[in-house]
Protein backbone atom coordinates (compact mmCIF):
# COMPACT_ATOMS: atom_id res chain seq x y z
CA UNK A 1 0.00 0.00 0.00
CA UNK A 2 2.81 2.40 0.92
CA UNK A 3 4.65 1.76 -2.34
CA UNK A 4 1.46 2.33 -4.33
CA UNK A 5 0.83 5.64 -2.62
CA UNK A 6 4.40 6.79 -3.22
CA UNK A 7 4.19 5.77 -6.86
CA UNK A 8 0.90 7.63 -7.30
CA UNK A 9 2.37 10.74 -5.69
CA UNK A 10 5.42 10.58 -7.96
CA UNK A 11 3.26 10.26 -11.06
CA UNK A 12 1.27 13.33 -10.03
CA UNK A 13 4.47 15.35 -9.57
CA UNK A 14 5.68 14.26 -13.02
CA UNK A 15 2.47 15.56 -14.59
CA UNK A 16 2.79 18.87 -12.79
CA UNK A 17 6.43 19.17 -13.87
CA UNK A 18 5.44 18.95 -17.52
CA UNK A 19 2.76 21.59 -17.04
CA UNK A 20 5.01 24.09 -15.30
CA UNK A 21 7.72 23.62 -17.93
CA UNK A 22 5.14 24.57 -20.55
CA UNK A 23 4.38 27.74 -18.62
CA UNK A 24 8.06 28.68 -18.36
CA UNK A 25 8.62 27.98 -22.06
CA UNK A 26 5.65 30.17 -22.95
CA UNK A 27 7.07 33.14 -21.06
CA UNK A 28 10.49 32.69 -22.66
CA UNK A 29 8.95 32.45 -26.14
CA UNK A 30 6.94 35.61 -25.63
CA UNK A 31 10.02 37.51 -24.51
CA UNK A 32 11.90 36.36 -27.61
CA UNK A 33 9.00 37.14 -29.95
CA UNK A 34 8.54 40.66 -28.68
CA UNK A 35 12.23 41.52 -28.77
CA UNK A 36 13.10 40.38 -32.31
CA UNK A 37 12.48 43.52 -34.25
CA UNK A 38 15.27 45.98 -35.03
CA UNK A 39 13.73 48.08 -37.80
CA UNK A 40 11.18 50.07 -35.80
CA UNK A 41 11.06 53.81 -35.25
CA UNK A 42 11.56 55.24 -31.77
CA UNK A 43 7.81 55.66 -31.29
CA UNK A 44 7.09 52.13 -32.46
CA UNK A 45 9.81 50.74 -30.23
CA UNK A 46 8.33 52.55 -27.23
CA UNK A 47 4.89 51.20 -28.06
CA UNK A 48 6.33 47.69 -28.47
CA UNK A 49 8.13 47.97 -25.13
CA UNK A 50 4.90 49.07 -23.48
CA UNK A 51 3.02 46.13 -25.00
CA UNK A 52 5.77 43.78 -23.90
CA UNK A 53 5.59 45.01 -20.30
CA UNK A 54 1.81 44.66 -20.30
CA UNK A 55 2.00 41.16 -21.75
CA UNK A 56 4.66 40.01 -19.29
CA UNK A 57 2.51 41.42 -16.49
CA UNK A 58 -0.46 39.36 -17.69
CA UNK A 59 1.69 36.24 -17.91
CA UNK A 60 3.00 36.75 -14.39
CA UNK A 61 -0.54 37.23 -13.12
CA UNK A 62 -1.55 33.89 -14.62
CA UNK A 63 1.56 32.35 -13.10
CA UNK A 64 0.64 33.69 -9.66
CA UNK A 65 -2.75 32.01 -9.94
CA UNK A 66 -1.28 28.66 -10.89
CA UNK A 67 1.73 28.35 -8.58
CA UNK A 68 -0.35 27.55 -5.46
CA UNK A 69 -1.96 24.71 -7.43
CA UNK A 70 1.48 23.33 -8.33
CA UNK A 71 2.86 23.21 -4.80
CA UNK A 72 3.22 19.59 -3.66
CA UNK A 73 1.33 18.52 -0.54
CA UNK A 74 3.71 18.09 2.36
CA UNK A 75 3.06 18.04 6.08
CA UNK A 76 6.64 19.05 6.81
CA UNK A 77 6.65 22.80 7.33
CA UNK A 78 10.38 23.17 6.68
CA UNK A 79 10.36 21.36 3.36
CA UNK A 80 7.12 22.99 2.28
CA UNK A 81 8.51 26.39 3.10
CA UNK A 82 11.62 25.64 1.04
CA UNK A 83 9.62 24.60 -1.97
CA UNK A 84 7.33 27.59 -1.60
CA UNK A 85 10.28 29.94 -1.72
CA UNK A 86 11.48 28.30 -4.92
CA UNK A 87 8.12 29.05 -6.52
CA UNK A 88 7.61 32.49 -4.99
CA UNK A 89 5.37 34.38 -7.43
CA UNK A 90 7.51 37.50 -6.92
CA UNK A 91 10.78 35.74 -7.72
CA UNK A 92 12.25 35.13 -11.16
CA UNK A 93 11.45 31.98 -13.09
CA UNK A 94 13.63 29.06 -12.09
CA UNK A 95 13.80 25.30 -12.49
CA UNK A 96 14.94 24.31 -8.99
CA UNK A 97 11.84 22.37 -7.99
CA UNK A 98 11.26 20.75 -11.34
CA UNK A 99 14.90 19.68 -11.79
CA UNK A 100 14.19 17.17 -9.02
CA UNK A 101 11.82 15.30 -11.34
CA UNK A 102 13.72 13.29 -13.95
CA UNK A 103 11.24 10.65 -15.07
CA UNK A 104 9.94 10.88 -18.60
CA UNK A 105 6.27 11.84 -18.80
CA UNK A 106 5.52 9.22 -21.43
CA UNK A 107 7.05 6.44 -19.33
CA UNK A 108 5.22 7.58 -16.24
CA UNK A 109 1.87 7.74 -18.08
CA UNK A 110 1.97 5.16 -20.88
CA UNK A 111 -1.81 5.29 -21.23
CA UNK A 112 -1.96 9.06 -21.67
CA UNK A 113 -2.69 10.48 -25.10
CA UNK A 114 -0.56 13.10 -26.83
CA UNK A 115 -0.45 14.99 -30.10
CA UNK A 116 0.05 11.75 -32.04
CA UNK A 117 -3.35 10.55 -30.84
CA UNK A 118 -5.03 13.47 -32.60
CA UNK A 119 -3.67 12.61 -36.05
CA UNK A 120 -6.56 11.76 -38.41
CA UNK A 121 -9.12 12.47 -35.71
CA UNK A 122 -12.65 13.30 -36.85
CA UNK A 123 -14.52 16.21 -35.26
CA UNK A 124 -18.20 15.30 -34.82
CA UNK A 125 -19.83 18.37 -33.32
CA UNK A 126 -19.27 21.42 -31.16
CA UNK A 127 -20.51 20.70 -27.64
CA UNK A 128 -20.12 24.22 -26.32
CA UNK A 129 -18.18 27.45 -26.46
CA UNK A 130 -17.47 30.28 -24.08
CA UNK A 131 -15.31 33.36 -23.57
CA UNK A 132 -12.13 31.27 -23.57
CA UNK A 133 -12.69 27.69 -24.66
CA UNK A 134 -14.27 25.58 -27.37
CA UNK A 135 -15.37 22.01 -26.60
CA UNK A 136 -15.58 19.56 -29.49
CA UNK A 137 -16.85 15.99 -29.62
CA UNK A 138 -14.38 13.95 -31.68
CA UNK A 139 -13.53 10.41 -32.70
CA UNK A 140 -9.88 9.40 -32.77
CA UNK A 141 -8.40 7.40 -35.64
CA UNK A 142 -9.20 4.13 -33.88
CA UNK A 143 -12.80 5.17 -33.30
CA UNK A 144 -12.42 6.07 -29.62
CA UNK A 145 -14.74 8.96 -28.66
CA UNK A 146 -13.18 11.86 -26.75
CA UNK A 147 -13.92 15.48 -25.93
CA UNK A 148 -11.37 18.13 -26.89
CA UNK A 149 -10.99 21.50 -25.20
CA UNK A 150 -9.32 24.15 -27.36
CA UNK A 151 -8.78 27.89 -27.29
CA UNK A 152 -11.85 29.58 -28.76
CA UNK A 153 -10.35 31.63 -31.59
CA UNK A 154 -13.55 33.69 -31.86
CA UNK A 155 -14.08 34.01 -28.12
CA UNK A 156 -14.20 37.26 -26.18
CA UNK A 157 -10.91 36.61 -24.36
CA UNK A 158 -9.06 36.03 -27.62
CA UNK A 159 -10.62 39.07 -29.31
CA UNK A 160 -9.73 41.35 -26.41
CA UNK A 161 -6.15 40.08 -26.31
CA UNK A 162 -5.70 40.68 -30.05
CA UNK A 163 -7.06 44.17 -29.63
CA UNK A 164 -4.67 44.91 -26.78
CA UNK A 165 -1.47 43.16 -27.94
CA UNK A 166 -1.95 42.51 -31.69
CA UNK A 167 -0.08 39.20 -31.56
CA UNK A 168 -2.20 36.12 -32.50
CA UNK A 169 0.34 33.56 -31.35
CA UNK A 170 1.06 35.28 -28.05
CA UNK A 171 -2.65 35.73 -27.39
CA UNK A 172 -3.34 32.06 -28.05
CA UNK A 173 -0.68 31.18 -25.50
CA UNK A 174 -2.00 33.67 -22.97
CA UNK A 175 -5.59 32.52 -23.31
CA UNK A 176 -4.53 28.87 -23.15
CA UNK A 177 -3.49 29.37 -19.52
CA UNK A 178 -7.05 28.50 -18.53
CA UNK A 179 -6.66 25.15 -20.28
CA UNK A 180 -3.39 24.54 -18.48
CA UNK A 181 -4.96 25.48 -15.17
CA UNK A 182 -7.73 22.96 -15.79
CA UNK A 183 -5.16 20.26 -16.52
CA UNK A 184 -3.49 20.92 -13.18
CA UNK A 185 -6.81 20.87 -11.34
CA UNK A 186 -7.85 17.62 -13.03
CA UNK A 187 -4.63 16.03 -11.79
CA UNK A 188 -4.93 17.40 -8.26
CA UNK A 189 -8.69 16.78 -7.95
CA UNK A 190 -9.02 13.26 -9.31
CA UNK A 191 -12.38 11.83 -8.25
CA UNK A 192 -15.11 9.61 -9.79
CA UNK A 193 -17.29 12.71 -10.22
CA UNK A 194 -14.61 14.79 -11.95
CA UNK A 195 -14.12 14.30 -15.70
CA UNK A 196 -11.14 12.10 -16.51
CA UNK A 197 -8.09 13.68 -18.16
CA UNK A 198 -6.97 11.32 -20.93
CA UNK A 199 -4.08 13.42 -22.23
CA UNK A 200 -3.09 16.68 -23.86
CA UNK A 201 -1.33 18.17 -26.84
CA UNK A 202 0.72 21.26 -26.07
CA UNK A 203 1.32 22.02 -29.75
CA UNK A 204 4.65 22.49 -31.50
CA UNK A 205 6.76 24.49 -29.11
CA UNK A 206 8.83 27.03 -31.03
CA UNK A 207 6.94 26.32 -34.25
CA UNK A 208 6.23 29.12 -36.66
CA UNK A 209 2.95 30.52 -37.87
CA UNK A 210 -0.30 30.87 -36.02
CA UNK A 211 -0.37 27.14 -35.16
CA UNK A 212 2.78 27.29 -33.05
CA UNK A 213 2.06 26.32 -29.45
CA UNK A 214 -1.64 25.57 -29.95
CA UNK A 215 -2.94 23.50 -27.01
CA UNK A 216 -5.65 20.87 -26.71
CA UNK A 217 -6.87 19.00 -23.63
CA UNK A 218 -8.17 15.46 -24.25
CA UNK A 219 -10.98 14.32 -21.95
CA UNK A 220 -13.32 11.39 -21.64
CA UNK A 221 -16.50 12.10 -23.53
CA UNK A 222 -19.70 12.87 -21.66
CA UNK A 223 -23.18 14.07 -22.45
CA UNK A 224 -24.06 17.66 -21.50
CA UNK A 225 -26.45 17.75 -18.56
CA UNK A 226 -29.92 18.53 -19.93
CA UNK A 227 -32.06 19.77 -17.06
CA UNK A 228 -35.30 19.72 -19.08
CA UNK A 229 -34.81 16.05 -19.93
CA UNK A 230 -33.73 15.31 -16.38
CA UNK A 231 -36.90 16.87 -15.00
CA UNK A 232 -38.90 14.33 -17.01
CA UNK A 233 -36.87 11.34 -15.83
CA UNK A 234 -37.81 8.96 -12.97
CA UNK A 235 -37.05 10.09 -9.43
CA UNK A 236 -34.42 7.39 -9.04
CA UNK A 237 -32.29 8.95 -11.80
CA UNK A 238 -32.77 12.47 -10.46
CA UNK A 239 -31.75 11.31 -7.00
CA UNK A 240 -28.59 9.80 -8.49
CA UNK A 241 -27.55 13.15 -9.97
CA UNK A 242 -28.03 14.87 -6.60
CA UNK A 243 -26.19 12.10 -4.74
CA UNK A 244 -23.24 12.28 -7.15
CA UNK A 245 -23.12 16.04 -6.68
CA UNK A 246 -23.05 15.76 -2.88
CA UNK A 247 -20.28 13.16 -3.03
CA UNK A 248 -18.27 15.54 -5.21
CA UNK A 249 -18.83 18.49 -2.87
CA UNK A 250 -17.80 16.35 0.10
CA UNK A 251 -14.50 15.60 -1.67
CA UNK A 252 -13.96 19.25 -2.62
CA UNK A 253 -14.44 20.34 0.99
CA UNK A 254 -11.28 18.42 1.97
CA UNK A 255 -9.38 18.11 -1.28
CA UNK A 256 -5.56 18.06 -1.63
CA UNK A 257 -5.81 21.80 -2.34
CA UNK A 258 -7.96 22.51 0.71
CA UNK A 259 -11.62 23.50 0.58
CA UNK A 260 -12.46 24.24 -3.07
CA UNK A 261 -15.34 26.47 -4.17
CA UNK A 262 -16.97 26.22 -7.59
CA UNK A 263 -17.37 29.89 -8.44
CA UNK A 264 -19.28 29.25 -11.68
CA UNK A 265 -21.79 26.75 -10.31
CA UNK A 266 -24.22 25.97 -13.12
CA UNK A 267 -25.66 22.76 -14.61
CA UNK A 268 -23.76 23.53 -17.81
CA UNK A 269 -20.49 22.85 -15.95
CA UNK A 270 -21.45 19.17 -15.64
CA UNK A 271 -21.84 16.18 -17.94
CA UNK A 272 -22.99 12.61 -17.44
CA UNK A 273 -20.89 9.57 -18.33
CA UNK A 274 -22.91 6.33 -18.32
CA UNK A 275 -25.42 8.04 -16.05
CA UNK A 276 -22.81 9.31 -13.58
CA UNK A 277 -22.55 13.05 -12.95
CA UNK A 278 -19.10 14.57 -13.58
CA UNK A 279 -17.72 18.07 -13.23
CA UNK A 280 -16.09 19.06 -16.51
CA UNK A 281 -15.30 22.77 -16.16
CA UNK A 282 -12.75 23.47 -13.42
CA UNK A 283 -11.06 26.69 -14.48
CA UNK A 284 -13.27 28.72 -12.11
CA UNK A 285 -12.59 26.47 -9.13
CA UNK A 286 -10.85 28.28 -6.27
CA UNK A 287 -9.19 27.09 -3.08
CA UNK A 288 -8.61 30.62 -1.78
CA UNK A 289 -9.96 31.38 1.66
CA UNK A 290 -11.68 34.69 2.30
CA UNK A 291 -9.81 36.85 4.81
CA UNK A 292 -11.84 38.55 7.52
CA UNK A 293 -11.67 40.63 10.67
CA UNK A 294 -15.28 40.27 11.82
CA UNK A 295 -18.27 38.09 10.98
CA UNK A 296 -19.60 40.91 8.82
CA UNK A 297 -16.77 40.19 6.38
CA UNK A 298 -18.10 36.65 5.90
CA UNK A 299 -21.35 37.25 4.07
CA UNK A 300 -22.51 34.88 1.35
CA UNK A 301 -24.73 36.78 -1.03
CA UNK A 302 -27.21 35.09 -3.35
CA UNK A 303 -30.02 36.62 -5.43
CA UNK A 304 -32.72 35.93 -2.83
CA UNK A 305 -30.79 35.05 0.35
CA UNK A 306 -27.79 36.21 2.33
CA UNK A 307 -25.93 34.20 4.98
CA UNK A 308 -23.37 35.44 7.50
CA UNK A 309 -20.74 32.95 8.63
CA UNK A 310 -18.17 33.10 11.42
CA UNK A 311 -14.75 34.71 11.16
CA UNK A 312 -12.27 32.23 12.60
CA UNK A 313 -9.42 32.99 15.01
CA UNK A 314 -6.92 32.70 12.14
CA UNK A 315 -8.69 35.45 10.23
CA UNK A 316 -10.53 33.52 7.51
CA UNK A 317 -14.23 32.88 6.98
CA UNK A 318 -15.01 29.49 8.48
CA UNK A 319 -16.38 27.02 5.91
CA UNK A 320 -17.33 29.67 3.37
CA UNK A 321 -16.32 27.65 0.29
CA UNK A 322 -18.17 24.59 1.54
CA UNK A 323 -21.33 26.53 2.37
CA UNK A 324 -21.28 28.31 -0.98
CA UNK A 325 -21.21 24.96 -2.76
CA UNK A 326 -24.02 23.51 -0.65
CA UNK A 327 -26.40 26.40 -1.27
CA UNK A 328 -25.66 26.44 -4.99
CA UNK A 329 -26.40 22.71 -5.10
CA UNK A 330 -29.69 23.44 -3.35
CA UNK A 331 -30.80 26.24 -5.67
CA UNK A 332 -29.60 24.78 -8.99
CA UNK A 333 -30.16 21.04 -8.43
CA UNK A 334 -32.04 19.93 -5.31
CA UNK A 335 -34.93 22.36 -5.72
CA UNK A 336 -35.78 21.02 -9.17
CA UNK A 337 -34.75 17.37 -8.99
CA UNK A 338 -35.17 16.03 -5.47
CA UNK A 339 -38.70 16.51 -4.03
CA UNK A 340 -40.93 15.83 -7.06
CA UNK A 341 -42.42 12.29 -7.01
CA UNK A 342 -40.12 11.00 -4.29
CA UNK A 343 -41.40 7.70 -2.80
CA UNK A 344 -44.01 8.66 -0.16
CA UNK A 345 -42.22 6.88 2.68
CA UNK A 346 -39.01 8.81 1.90
CA UNK A 347 -40.64 12.23 1.58
CA UNK A 348 -39.89 13.28 5.16
CA UNK A 349 -36.18 12.51 4.65
CA UNK A 350 -36.12 14.45 1.38
CA UNK A 351 -37.87 17.37 3.08
CA UNK A 352 -35.20 17.34 5.79
CA UNK A 353 -32.47 17.65 3.16
CA UNK A 354 -34.31 20.48 1.43
CA UNK A 355 -34.76 22.40 4.69
CA UNK A 356 -31.21 21.97 5.99
CA UNK A 357 -29.48 22.79 2.69
CA UNK A 358 -31.81 25.68 1.90
CA UNK A 359 -31.06 27.22 5.30
CA UNK A 360 -27.41 26.09 5.48
CA UNK A 361 -28.07 24.46 8.83
CA UNK A 362 -25.84 21.42 8.25
CA UNK A 363 -22.37 20.90 6.82
CA UNK A 364 -21.44 18.70 3.88
CA UNK A 365 -20.67 15.69 6.12
CA UNK A 366 -24.20 15.72 7.52
CA UNK A 367 -25.69 16.32 4.08
CA UNK A 368 -23.84 13.36 2.58
CA UNK A 369 -24.90 11.18 5.50
CA UNK A 370 -28.55 12.09 4.85
CA UNK A 371 -28.26 11.19 1.16
CA UNK A 372 -26.50 7.90 1.86
CA UNK A 373 -29.22 7.00 4.38
CA UNK A 374 -31.91 7.49 1.73
CA UNK A 375 -29.89 5.40 -0.72
CA UNK A 376 -29.60 2.58 1.83
CA UNK A 377 -33.34 2.55 2.48
CA UNK A 378 -34.13 2.70 -1.22
CA UNK A 379 -31.73 -0.06 -2.32
CA UNK A 380 -32.65 -2.42 0.50
CA UNK A 381 -36.40 -1.92 0.26
CA UNK A 382 -36.59 -1.04 3.96
CA UNK A 383 -38.75 1.96 3.11
CA UNK A 384 -41.48 -0.54 2.09
CA UNK A 385 -41.73 -2.18 5.52
CA UNK A 386 -45.15 -0.63 6.13
CA UNK A 387 -46.67 -2.29 3.05
CA UNK A 388 -48.82 -5.27 4.14
CA UNK A 389 -47.57 -8.66 2.86
CA UNK A 390 -51.14 -9.49 1.84
CA UNK A 391 -51.05 -6.87 -0.91
CA UNK A 392 -49.67 -9.40 -3.38
CA UNK A 393 -52.05 -12.26 -2.51
CA UNK A 394 -54.65 -11.20 -5.05
CA UNK A 395 -52.18 -11.69 -7.90
CA UNK A 396 -51.32 -14.82 -9.86
CA UNK A 397 -47.85 -15.09 -11.34
CA UNK A 398 -47.37 -16.66 -14.78
CA UNK A 399 -43.67 -17.29 -15.30
CA UNK A 400 -42.14 -16.91 -18.73
CA UNK A 401 -45.29 -15.30 -20.07
CA UNK A 402 -45.85 -11.87 -21.57
CA UNK A 403 -49.03 -10.18 -22.68
CA UNK A 404 -50.68 -9.90 -26.07
CA UNK A 405 -52.75 -7.09 -27.45
CA UNK A 406 -52.63 -3.39 -26.82
CA UNK A 407 -52.91 -3.52 -23.04
CA UNK A 408 -50.08 -1.23 -21.94
CA UNK A 409 -50.65 2.40 -21.15
CA UNK A 410 -48.25 5.31 -20.99
CA UNK A 411 -47.20 7.01 -17.80
CA UNK A 412 -44.92 9.83 -16.73
CA UNK A 413 -42.12 9.65 -15.90
CA UNK A 414 -41.29 6.38 -17.62
CA UNK A 415 -38.15 4.63 -18.82
CA UNK A 416 -39.92 4.16 -22.16
CA UNK A 417 -41.86 6.61 -24.31
CA UNK A 418 -43.91 3.76 -25.77
CA UNK A 419 -45.32 2.43 -22.54
CA UNK A 420 -45.19 2.63 -18.77
CA UNK A 421 -41.84 1.35 -17.53
CA UNK A 422 -41.01 1.99 -13.89
CA UNK A 423 -38.46 0.95 -11.30
CA UNK A 424 -39.61 -1.12 -8.33
CA UNK A 425 -37.92 -3.08 -5.59
CA UNK A 426 -40.28 -6.05 -5.56
CA UNK A 427 -43.56 -7.48 -6.75
CA UNK A 428 -45.06 -6.23 -3.51
CA UNK A 429 -44.26 -2.61 -4.36
CA UNK A 430 -45.49 -3.14 -7.92
CA UNK A 431 -48.78 -4.48 -6.58
CA UNK A 432 -49.09 -1.42 -4.35
CA UNK A 433 -48.65 0.90 -7.32
CA UNK A 434 -51.07 -1.06 -9.47
CA UNK A 435 -53.68 -1.10 -6.72
CA UNK A 436 -53.57 2.68 -6.48
CA UNK A 437 -54.75 3.09 -10.09
CA UNK A 438 -58.10 1.74 -11.16
CA UNK A 439 -57.06 1.15 -14.79
CA UNK A 440 -54.12 -1.08 -13.89
CA UNK A 441 -54.97 -4.79 -14.18
CA UNK A 442 -51.57 -6.54 -14.30
CA UNK A 443 -47.85 -5.89 -14.43
CA UNK A 444 -44.72 -7.54 -15.75
CA UNK A 445 -41.41 -7.86 -13.91
CA UNK A 446 -38.20 -8.12 -15.93
CA UNK A 447 -34.58 -8.95 -15.23
CA UNK A 448 -33.31 -5.55 -16.28
CA UNK A 449 -31.81 -3.50 -13.48
CA UNK A 450 -31.31 0.15 -12.70
CA UNK A 451 -28.17 1.73 -11.21
CA UNK A 452 -29.40 0.88 -7.70
CA UNK A 453 -29.73 -2.79 -8.64
CA UNK A 454 -33.52 -2.67 -8.94
CA UNK A 455 -35.86 -4.43 -11.41
CA UNK A 456 -38.21 -3.06 -14.05
CA UNK A 457 -41.97 -3.43 -14.06
CA UNK A 458 -44.49 -2.81 -16.82
CA UNK A 459 -48.09 -2.45 -15.63
CA UNK A 460 -50.95 -3.41 -17.89
CA UNK A 461 -54.31 -1.72 -18.10
CA UNK A 462 -57.71 -2.37 -19.57
CA UNK A 463 -57.33 0.95 -21.36
CA UNK A 464 -54.48 3.34 -22.03
CA UNK A 465 -53.69 5.62 -19.14
CA UNK A 466 -51.15 8.33 -18.44
CA UNK A 467 -49.71 6.78 -15.31
CA UNK A 468 -46.71 7.58 -13.21
CA UNK A 469 -45.42 4.18 -12.07
CA UNK A 470 -45.64 1.33 -14.50
CA UNK A 471 -42.42 -0.61 -14.98
CA UNK A 472 -40.47 -2.29 -12.29
CA UNK A 473 -36.74 -2.47 -11.86
CA UNK A 474 -35.32 -4.90 -9.35
CA UNK A 475 -32.39 -3.91 -7.16
CA UNK A 476 -31.38 -7.16 -5.56
CA UNK A 477 -31.32 -10.48 -7.31
CA UNK A 478 -34.33 -11.53 -9.35
CA UNK A 479 -33.32 -12.27 -12.93
CA UNK A 480 -36.47 -13.92 -14.25
CA UNK A 481 -39.48 -11.87 -15.25
CA UNK A 482 -43.00 -12.70 -14.09
CA UNK A 483 -46.35 -11.35 -15.20
CA UNK A 484 -48.83 -10.72 -12.41
CA UNK A 485 -52.54 -10.54 -13.14
CA UNK A 486 -54.34 -8.28 -10.73
CA UNK A 487 -53.10 -5.19 -8.94
CA UNK A 488 -49.63 -4.15 -10.12
CA UNK A 489 -46.56 -3.91 -7.91
CA UNK A 490 -42.87 -4.74 -8.16
CA UNK A 491 -39.96 -4.14 -5.80
CA UNK A 492 -39.45 -6.88 -3.18
CA UNK A 493 -36.36 -8.66 -4.42
CA UNK A 494 -35.07 -6.43 -7.18
CA UNK A 495 -35.68 -3.30 -9.24
CA UNK A 496 -36.70 -4.16 -12.79
CA UNK A 497 -37.54 -2.44 -16.05
CA UNK A 498 -39.84 -3.69 -18.79
CA UNK A 499 -39.23 -2.06 -22.14
CA UNK A 500 -41.07 -4.26 -24.64
CA UNK A 501 -44.12 -3.07 -26.56
CA UNK A 502 -47.60 -4.43 -25.96
CA UNK A 503 -47.81 -6.39 -29.22
CA UNK A 504 -44.81 -8.65 -28.71
CA UNK A 505 -46.67 -11.96 -28.28
CA UNK A 506 -46.48 -14.43 -25.43
CA UNK A 507 -42.71 -14.59 -25.01
CA UNK A 508 -39.91 -12.02 -24.99
CA UNK A 509 -37.19 -12.08 -27.66
CA UNK A 510 -34.49 -14.73 -27.02
CA UNK A 511 -31.48 -13.65 -25.01
CA UNK A 512 -33.11 -10.68 -23.27
CA UNK A 513 -34.92 -11.89 -20.19
CA UNK A 514 -37.70 -14.13 -18.99
CA UNK A 515 -40.88 -12.23 -18.26
CA UNK A 516 -43.07 -12.80 -15.25
CA UNK A 517 -46.67 -11.76 -15.78
CA UNK A 518 -48.62 -10.97 -12.66
CA UNK A 519 -52.42 -10.92 -12.94
CA UNK A 520 -55.34 -11.03 -10.52
CA UNK A 521 -56.15 -14.49 -9.22
CA UNK A 522 -59.49 -16.21 -9.54
Half-sphere exposure of 452 (CA within 13 A, CB side): 35
Q: Which of 352, 380, 408 is the last residue of a domain?
A: 380
Q: Which helix (H) or strand (E) holds 106?
A: helix 105-108
Closest C-alpha among 379, 479, 495 to residue 427: 495
Are 113 and 59 contained in the same domain?
yes
Q: Are 473 and 457 in contact (CB under 8 A)?
A: yes
Please state the rounded mean pLDDT for residues 392-397.
Answer: 83
Average pLDDT along the chain: 74
Are 375 and 436 contained in the same domain?
no
Closest C-alpha among 214, 226, 246 to residue 118: 214
Q: Which residues contact 231 (CB under 8 A, 6 or more apart)?
A: 238, 336, 337, 340
- Residue 157 CB neighbours (<10 A): 18
Q: Model confidence at 39, in pLDDT bands (50, 70, 90)?
A: low
Please state, in angstroms and rounded to a whole number, the distance separating the CA atoms of residues 513 and 482.
10
Are 366 and 427 contained in the same domain?
no
pLDDT per residue over 298-318, tens digit each?
A: 999 999 899 999 999 999 999
pLDDT of residue 211: 42
pLDDT per residue over 198-257, tens digit each?
A: 988 876 444 443 344 468 899 999 999 999 999 999 999 999 999 999 999 999 999 999
Are 174 and 244 contained in the same domain?
no
pLDDT of residue 10: 43
Residues annotated catalytic, as ranges = 264
pLDDT per residue over 63-82, tens digit each?
A: 777 777 766 554 444 444 44
What CATH number has the domain bearing residue 318?
1.10.510.10
Closest C-alpha among 177, 216, 184, 151 to residue 55: 177
Q: Model confidence at 291, in pLDDT bands (50, 70, 90)?
A: very high
Query: Which is more confident, 13 or 492?
Result: 13
Q: Which of 359, 380, 401 is the last residue of a domain?
A: 380
Is the preceding peptide bond at 294 cis, omega within 30 degrees of 0? Answer: no
Percent of the chain residues past pLDDT 90, beyond the cut: 33
pLDDT of residue 306: 94
Are 506 and 359 contained in the same domain?
no
Are 510 and 409 contained in the same domain?
yes
Q: Are 133 and 179 in contact (CB under 8 A)?
A: yes
- Structural domain boundaries, residue 296: 228-380
pTM: 0.76
Q: What is the DSSP string of 170-192?
A: HHHHHHTHHHHHHHHHHHHT--T
Are 485 and 397 contained in the same domain?
yes
Domain total for the chain? 3
Are 74 and 206 contained in the same domain?
yes
pLDDT per residue over 44-68, tens digit each?
A: 777 777 887 887 788 778 777 777 7
Residue 459 in this model has a pLDDT that exceeds 70: no
Residue 282 in this model has a pLDDT that exceeds 60: yes
Amino acid sequence: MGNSLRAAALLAVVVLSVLVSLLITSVQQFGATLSTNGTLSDGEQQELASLRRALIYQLNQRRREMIPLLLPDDDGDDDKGGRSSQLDPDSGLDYNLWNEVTLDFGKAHPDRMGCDSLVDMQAVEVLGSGYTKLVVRANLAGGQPVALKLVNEQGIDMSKCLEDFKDPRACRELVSYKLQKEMILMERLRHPNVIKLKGHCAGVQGGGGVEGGRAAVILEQGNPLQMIQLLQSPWEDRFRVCLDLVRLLHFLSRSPLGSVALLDFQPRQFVTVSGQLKLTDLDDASAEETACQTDADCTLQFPHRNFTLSCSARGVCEGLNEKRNIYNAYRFFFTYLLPHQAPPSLTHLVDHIMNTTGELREDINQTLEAFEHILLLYKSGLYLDNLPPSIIRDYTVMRGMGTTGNVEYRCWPSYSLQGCVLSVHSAREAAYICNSHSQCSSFTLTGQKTWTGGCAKSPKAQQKLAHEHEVGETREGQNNADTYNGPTTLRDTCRAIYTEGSNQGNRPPPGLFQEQLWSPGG
